Structure 1
Amino acid sequence: MRKPPVVVLSGVRWDFLWQRHQALATLFDRAGYPTAFVETTGLANPGPSASRKVAARLRRTGRKDPGGGPFVYPPLVLPPTYRAFRVANRKLFLPRVARDLRGFLGERPIVVAYPPTRTTLDLIPHLDPRLVLYDLADDYERFPGAPKDIASTERELLVLADLVSCTSEPLLRKARRVRPDAFPSGPAVDYERFAALREHPPALPARTVCFFGHLGRERLDFEVLRAIARAGFRVRLLGNAERAEKGFLGEPNVEYRGEVPHHLLPAALAGVDAFILPYRMGDLTHAISPAKTYECLATGRPVVASPLPALESLSKHVYLADGPEGFVEALGNLEGTETGERVRARNRLARENSWEARFRELEDVISRSLRDRP
């Protein structure tokens, strides 16, 4: 039987830092589902560079991913912040988005929804979906600039969705207040790609440590990074540094390599001895489960991380450290704490959490739900 179309209402752009949104869209497409990846419809009012982004969207109504992946659709909509914007979206922009998607894919898609905004809620009925999965991957109430009614619109989406999956234990507890049937579906890894780094074991004691991802000071603890660099470790950073702490990238022992496409990450990680996940502890990070965790573990290298609630269950595989002194101490002790069994255990855990395994779990839940419908 022909598989139904899938529309992923993403919270990020296709060419942004590779996340769960892109991974699942790619896996649906590979599995034979005609798939559209709808780039972010917005969460907050745009910054100064918005005009360039809008112009870019006007130049392209949609495109097939050059790598043979899903159809990428950049919707032309207004932010979900002001009442006038929402009215314009509902009456003018969203009907066009829905018409375009039906033309690309066909009728009655499965919808995988991310940002729980009024835009998402208003678009879903236009798509006439056969099933809606709300894949809860962030605590949107904590996002700077989020709409004032984001808690209310998220509750609406939780009630509307046929299925609710959550990427961390804190998000699961939150969702189950409204949806007791919400289920966990954590981060995963393109296992073979990152496991290739095991062919070149890391040096001990560790000399070069690495963080890859968005380098925003809202979530990343630059005091920890500074302490690690000043302790004599080479700190390699990969990612968007627009919101990095001013002046830090020019400090001694800091090696900034810019943004790297996801498929080129393993090559950019060559020579790294350990990974660091130095997140600020607070409301913005309380519920996150870092997407890169299993990618780091798949390499076999040690991982030193802030004690996020989502990482507590991985304490046998990740070194949890508090503050600058904790990170420096954990990195300095690796020569004595690392064992062959630790490396093998990290690798086994990553293999068990491959994207293929995670996708099979989600596909099975979706298929059962569709079969059980009257």
Structure 2
Amino acid sequence: MKKKDIVILANIEWLFLKQRHQNLAENLVDFGYNVVFVESAAKRNPQIADIPRIFSRLLKSVKTQTPHSDAAVNVVSPFVLPSTFKINRLFNKLFFVKKLASKISSYFKNDECILIIYAPTSTNLQLIDFLKPSKVIYDCVSNFEAFKEMPADTVQIENQLIKEANAVVVDCEFLLQKHTALSKTIKIIEPAVDFKLFNRFFKPQSRTKLRKLIYYGQVDPLKIDINLLNFLAEKGILITIVGGVKSTDISNLIEILPVVKSDQLPEIINKFDAIILPYNVNEYTNGIIPAKFYECFATGLPIVATKMYNFLRYENLLITGNTYDEILEQINLFTISSDTEHALERIKIAQNNSWQKFTENFSDVIETA
């Protein structure tokens, strides 16, 4: 029996910090699927900072071979115009998307495929028309309506995608409530964690006070409360960021380290007293549960967090507050004895959110949609 062809239209690069998209691709290969991972297509007009990435895409597009991961995922780098103007969409439909669809289908082992889509864009709707998949699954992990860089008709495109999809998957309660009315079939599949990797350095009662906090991931002003990080740094809390920073407003008191591979993260995290999840509370973050959330739980470390919508059900397991001063006060009041049971509870929750279980749930959606 031939392997079913799965095409993942991702909204990130393959080599970006490993998360839901790449883990799903690799695990579906282990489940017996033939997977084609299509990296993020242009969604907005390019800026100066995008020039290196554009040149990289051009180089990839002229190469005869496409890079493969260790898990035998076929990775395709699309070259299309940003779907911001009607003329761009027309050229995409006539030339670039047609060529991209041909490139994607060259990896197929069957006459038709199953599409998993991560972003509501006109390019992805065009790919549905060209690839003619047997099933379309929309894995929605963002509140795109609140993302200002997306085209003005994003809501209409997303509604069309939801109506065309055989199934919709979301990763949080907010998105479930938002899309239930339009979807035929909708299901929550939360982020997952490589538990053994992130739990391996856990030592009960290993921290007596919280002075060194780490945040890992990209610092985007839309998502991350930079003012909170600066405030804590100015109050004597040692803050380290591991990842890219899209802001010039970061205090020089904050240490910034480059991105590292996922398998190197736990050893770095273990050098700190706690993890901080300094997310803004706004319309965009209402639709986010960070991909790293259960990774943080698996470490057993205390977690400092804002009162973001999708954190509220775990509020008793977090160090949090309604204001910067309240958060600082809770950090200063922290005691190991008060967190021992909470740490074990966080670890148990993380254990129940493995990538194996995640992929089983997603495979079930694929097969039953």
Shared fold (TM-score, shorter chain, > 0.5):
yes
- Distance in 2 between residues matched to 1:255 and 1:247, nearest whole Å: 10
RMSD: 1.8
Taking the TM superposition and a 5 Å limit, the aligned residue runs for 1:339-358 are 339-358=339-358
Q: Which amino acid aligns with 2:130?
A: H
After superposition, the Cα gap between the structure-2 partners of 1:275 and 1:51, relative to the gap in structure 1 and judged at 3 Å, is closer
Q: Which residue of 1 aligns with 2:165?
A: 161
Q: Which residue of 1 aligns with 2:303?
A: 303
SS in 1 for 2:286: coil
- Distance in 1 between residues matched to 2:162 and 2:69, nearest whole Å: 34
1:46 matches 2:46: yes
Q: Which runs of 5 or more residues in structure 2 are unaligned?
A: none
1:177 matches 2:186: no
8 Å contact from structure 1 (residues 172, 182) kept in 2: yes
- Distance in 1 between residues matched to 2:50 and 2:230, nearest whole Å: 32
- Distance in 1 between residues matched to 2:154 and 2:43, nearest whole Å: 9
- Distance in 1 between residues matched to 2:300 and 2:144, nearest whole Å: 32
Q: Which amino acid aligns with 1:48?
A: I
1:330 matches 2:357: no
SS in 1 for 2:48: coil
1:76 matches 2:79: yes
Q: Which residue of 2 aligns with 1:372?
A: none
Q: How many residues align?
A: 365
8 Å contact from structure 1 (residues 202, 272) kept in 2: no
Q: Which residue of 1 aligns with 2:138?
A: 134
1:236 matches 2:240: yes
8 Å contact from structure 2 (residues 142, 284) kept in 1: no
Q: Which runs of 5 or more residues in structure 1 are unaligned?
A: 370-374
1:310 Cα deviation from its structure 2 partner? 1.2
- Distance in 2 between residues matched to 1:312 and 1:164, nearest whole Å: 24
1:255 Cα deviation from its structure 2 partner? 2.1
SS in 2 for 1:316: helix
Taking the TM superposition and a 5 Å limit, the aligned residue runs for 1:106-145 are 106=109, 107-145=111-149
TM-score for both structures, normalised by structure 1: 0.92
Q: Which residue of 1 aligns with 2:16?
A: 16
8 Å contact from structure 1 (residues 224, 323) kept in 2: no
Q: Which residue of 2 aligns with 1:94?
A: 97
Q: Which residue of 1 aligns with 2:363?
A: 363
8 Å contact from structure 2 (residues 12, 39) kept in 1: yes
Q: Which residue of 2 aligns with 1:26?
A: 26
8 Å contact from structure 1 (residues 223, 324) kept in 2: no
Q: Which residue of 2 aligns with 1:214?
A: 218
After superposition, the Cα gap between the structure-2 partners of 1:45 and 1:305, relative to the gap in structure 1 and judged at 3 Å, is same
8 Å contact from structure 1 (residues 222, 245) kept in 2: no
After superposition, the Cα gap between the structure-2 partners of 1:12 and 1:94, relative to the gap in structure 1 and judged at 3 Å, is same
SS in 2 for 1:286: helix
TM-score for both structures, normalised by structure 2: 0.93
